[in-house]
């Protein structure tokens, strides 16, 4: 097919990467520094290595008409975006409960327990919102929450928005004290 994009073979990718000069490698490192900004717990070297690993493994096919720096820059942008989304996800209840079983629960765990109890108290007057809050903490699906709470999709969305508004009103910045 004439419309199908041509991708570089594994050998062509290896040959292009092996021909990089020190200046080219520094430019790639600078691109990695740019894309890794705002990604906590990650370094530019990790980002560049991950991008190269994905390219060399064949997970990211390299279009023949795209330059090395442009292609690797976009691969790094994509990986950094993925990392940001992973880091921004809501903490799972299991992330916190795992530590609660230990004898010496640290202060962060106590703050989390205290916070969830205070949030439950704020939602006591709204049974559907409290139910949705509990389902979010236990990581059950929306469908399961709707079935167990006896809500349709619209009722679920309305109660979830009400829950969010209530919690935002009650827990303004500085609420962990």
Residue 165 resides in a domain:
yes
Q: Of 28, 59, 88, which residue sits at a domain end? A: 88
45 vs 106, higher pLDDT = 45
Same domain flag for 14 and 76: yes
Average pLDDT taken over every residue of the chain? 79
In DSSP notation, 118-166 reads HHHHHTTT-HHHHHHHHHHHHT--HHHHHHHHT--HHHHHHHHHHHHHH
User: Which range of residues forms the domain containing residue 124?
Assistant: 93-170
Residue 77 resides in a domain:
yes
Same domain flag for 16 and 62: yes
Number of structural domains found in the chain: 2
- Answering whether pTM is above 0.85, one says no
Q: Of 45, 67, 88, which residue sits at a domain end? A: 88
- The predicted-structure confidence for 4-23, as pLDDT tens digits, reads as follows 568 877 678 778 878 888 88
DSSP structural state of residue 58? T
The number of residues in the chain equals: 177
Q: Of 41, 65, 88, which residue sits at a domain end? A: 88
Residue 5 resides in a domain:
no
Q: Which residues pair with 63 in a beta bridge?
A: 7
Same domain flag for 20 and 74: yes
Same domain flag for 116 and 140: yes
103 vs 18, higher pLDDT = 18
**Count of CB atoms situated within 10 Å of the CB of 172:** 7
């Amino acid at each position: 097919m004439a419309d199908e994009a041509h991708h570089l073979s594994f050998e062509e990718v290896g040959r292009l990467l092996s021909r990089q000069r020190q200046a080219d490698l520094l430019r790639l490192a600078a691109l990695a520094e740019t894309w890794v900004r705002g990604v906590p717990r990650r370094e530019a070297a990790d980002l560049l290595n991950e991008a190269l690993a994905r390219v060399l493994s064949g997970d990211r096919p390299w279009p023949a008409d795209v330059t090395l720096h442009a292609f690797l820059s976009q691969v790094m942008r994509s990986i950094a975006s993925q990392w940001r989304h992973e880091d921004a996800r809501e903490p799972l209840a299991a992330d916190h409960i795992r530590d609660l079983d230990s004898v010496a629960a640290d202060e962060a765990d106590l703050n989390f327990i205290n916070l969830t109890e205070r949030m439950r108290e704020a939602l006591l007057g709204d049974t559907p919102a409290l139910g949705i809050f509990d389902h979010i903490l236990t990581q059950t699906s929306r469908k399961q929450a709707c079935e167990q709470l006896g809500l349709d999709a619209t009722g679920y969305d309305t109660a979830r928005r009400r829950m969010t508004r209530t919690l935002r009103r009650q827990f303004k910045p500085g609420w962990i004290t």
